[in-house]
Chains A and B, each alone.
Chain A
């Protein structure tokens, strides 16, 4: 088995807010991320897939195809959008880095031919990132 990683980038706005809490509690827990006008980041996505090397092509997956899948399933939906307001999964989940990793996993799972999704790594900042490896058995 070989692991192959492809990067993609998108820029988006978000805020952190839990409606079950008072404004004061939201500000205490989420700090400046609770500003309801939102703020934004340049996100870097790393998608790692696992598979066997095809003896004919020498590929685990066709990189061009993987790039197109990432563009179609994730980048075109998230890039230059407000995650809370414009991306359906974040109407019901706070778009933290952790939850974005899970949402991207769910968008890509089963859509990559001849390989299995292995890890989603999403950088919100160069010094802050989350990893998701799928549901634990």
Chain B
């Protein structure tokens, strides 16, 4: 193999926008409860998730970053840097913790909706690529998604033919 990079750099003069997604896993406990409700209202709204002793989940966080592929590396962003960022700013904070005790949930119920928003806030600070979407799976059957910038196919943006 010779000239791979030289060719590569000449060949990718055109810029391609792609999306890179990475999944991270952590386990945490929580209890869904709001002081705005009576005990009865809390039980009605949150059911078994209102159990005073809490319960837990294995969460999966899926973050998507959009960007122009760097012609020298072929990458949207450095994956090792993203993993390191996630270790420090997500996993070290949430893994094997009680979500209700953490600062972001002092005044917010730690539903997975609110967790998804918090995860988006965290990964928006990642300096090397633009966060476009966050998806959090609370269980294999429940997932929550927050889109900061939709990744639409240009071809799908044509006007509807239906009257």
Contact = CB atoms under 8 A, between A and B. Distances in A.
Interface in A62-114: 84-85, 91-99, 101-102
Interface in B55-69: 64, 69
B88 interface: no
Contacts of B80: 31
Nearest to A85: B1
B72 A93 contact: no
B8 to A, nearest CB: 5
Interface stretch (A5-13, A53-61, A121-129): A121-129
Contacts of B10: 92
B19 interface: yes
B36 interface: no
Interface in B94-139: none
Given A93-B74, A128-B21, A21 B16 contact: no
Q: Which size bracket describes the interface of B in this complex?
A: 35 or more
Contacts of B9: 20
A117 B156 CA distance: 10
Contacts, number: 116
Contacts of A136: 17, 154
B19 A92 contact: no
Contact of A129 (B2, B21, B78, B154): B21
Contacts of A135: 16, 154
A130 B74 contact: no
Nearest to A29: B73
Given A1-B156, A19-B3, A135-B154, A98 B23 contact: no
A18 interface: yes
B8 A94 contact: yes
Contacts of B19: 130-133
B154 A137 contact: yes
Interface of A: 1, 16-21, 29-31, 50, 84-85, 91-99, 101-102, 116-119, 126-137
